[in-house]
Structure 1
Amino acid sequence: MPQLPGGGGSSAIVSAIQSRVTYPLEALKRRITGRVFVSFTVSASGIVGDAQVVKGIGGGCDESVLNAVQQLPQFIPGRQAGQPVPVRFTVPVTFQITAPTAELAADTTQQIYTLVQQMPELPGGGGLAAITRAVQRAVVQPAAALASRQVDKVFVSFIVGPSGVVRDIKVVKGVNTDYNTAALSAVQHLPRFVGGKLLGRPVSVSFTVPVEFGRSVRIR
């Protein structure tokens, strides 16, 4: 069977798609949850194509999954009788809301600040340095980065809402598609924050962090 560069079988493929999925704002507002089943072909050369939603749930989730599949790296192709052959997959992608509706509504309507008296923090604290380290630890370095002698940086912005939910993740300064996608995926894996406060009131706060790529990158 075709494999991702790092192996891991079908579970790794599902995880790779899931990590590239962004929960659409419309789906969050309407509290749409469930599983999208997507079908795609890995060609004899390992290229992903012909992605189709077999069973969708709407709210922009179907389109988000198709976009995630298009971002998959080139596979190690499957073989039959020793010869490379095209193989078709159908996999589920899960959409699940963990924050209450009221919190999600607040997170999408509050004024956004860049500096407040009590900044949002990860559960273990540590400020911005801890946030940057957590993102860097979550990065899966693309093959090109592992072969590169130089260090490249992708700058990613995101908002931490009053309830600590991370949203609106964007690349503000990118390098290439693979690096940008890996950086966005790393931020999506951040845990829920302890929300920020201004004058004792929960508020939304924006962050911009660098994500480094290259074989010499070390987590500090």
Structure 2
Amino acid sequence: MKRIRSLTIILILLLFSSNLSHATDNFSYNKSNEGGKYLAFAEQMPSPIGGLKAIYNKIKYPEIAQQAHVQGKVYVLAFVNKNGNVDDVKVIKGIGAGCDEQVVNAVRSSKFSPGIMKGKPVNVKMAIQFQFKM
């Protein structure tokens, strides 16, 4: 019984891992990155030059948000092109009171190291979270 259970687990893991490797083989750089499309994953994801701290330094806690005691996390989707420039920023989940706009402007004006796939720079979309806390 114990041996059957072990064999079953191994078989499931093998099937799962073979499906994953097959999926990444079909996820080719050329097909995924033509026409300005953005990958959701790259072997090396983009990272802000100077780290997230450099982006946080550009963000000012809006006065209206402070007066209203608005706190929380702002989640954005940054579209980083293969040159490391941010083409677009979309708020996934915001907290309002000017905080969302501060994050969008800070991310949009930041420079990133580009994402890398198969040794080549690629367009990547990535989610980033920022915390506003009093």
TM-score by length of 2: 0.63
CA distance in 1, matches of 2:70, 2:95: 12
The structural deviation recorded for 1:202 is 1.7
CA distance in 1, matches of 2:112, 2:63: 31
Code of the residue aligned with 1:110 in structure 2: it is G
Contact 1:113 1:206 in 2 (8 A): yes
CA distance in 1, matches of 2:103, 2:90: 9
The structural deviation recorded for 1:210 is 1.5
CA distance in 1, matches of 2:133, 2:102: 12
Is the alpha carbon distance of 1:178 and 1:150 closer, same or farther for their aligned partners in structure 2, counting shifts above 3 Å? closer
User: Of the candidates 108, 118, 121, which is equivalent to residue 188 of structure 1?
Assistant: 108
Superposed CA deviations along residues 171-199 of structure 1, whole A, max 9, x for unmatched, are: 11112251221121121231x22211111
The structural deviation recorded for 1:160 is 0.8
1:116 and 2:35 matched: no
Structure 2 counterparts to residues 1-220 of structure 1, below 5 A: 109-124=35-50, 130-131=51-52, 133-147=53-67, 151-190=71-110, 192-215=111-134
The structural deviation recorded for 1:169 is 0.7
Q: Percent identity?
A: 26
Contact 1:135 1:211 in 2 (8 A): no
CA distance in 1, matches of 2:48, 2:104: 18
Superposed CA deviations along residues 4-36 of structure 1, whole A, max 9, x for unmatched, are: xxxxxxxxxxxxxxxxxxxxxxxxxxxxxxxxx
The total of aligned residue pairs comes to: 102
Unpaired segments of 5 or more residues in structure 1? 1-106, 125-129, 216-220
Point out the structure with the larger helix share. Answer: 2
| 4+ aligned runs moved over 4 Å, structure 1 | none
Unpaired segments of 5 or more residues in structure 2? 1-32
Name the counterpart of 2:6: none
Superposed CA deviations along residues 82-133 of structure 1, whole A, max 9, x for unmatched, are: xxxxxxxxxxxxxxxxxxxxxxxxx993331122112223334xxxxx33x3
* Higher radius of gyration, 1 or 2: 2
CA distance in 1, matches of 2:109, 2:125: 17
Code of the residue aligned with 1:117 in structure 2: it is E
Superposed CA deviations along residues 136-173 of structure 1, whole A, max 9, x for unmatched, are: 22111111333355631111111110111111111111
- Secondary structure in 1 aligned to 2:35? coil
Is the alpha carbon distance of 1:116 and 1:195 closer, same or farther for their aligned partners in structure 2, counting shifts above 3 Å? same
CA distance in 2, matches of 1:139, 1:201: 32
What is the RMSD of the two structures over their aligned residues, measured on CA atoms?
A: 2.4
Name the counterpart of 2:4: none
CA distance in 2, matches of 1:181, 1:122: 19
Is the alpha carbon distance of 1:187 and 1:148 closer, same or farther for their aligned partners in structure 2, counting shifts above 3 Å? same
CA distance in 2, matches of 1:169, 1:108: 20
Contact 1:136 1:212 in 2 (8 A): no
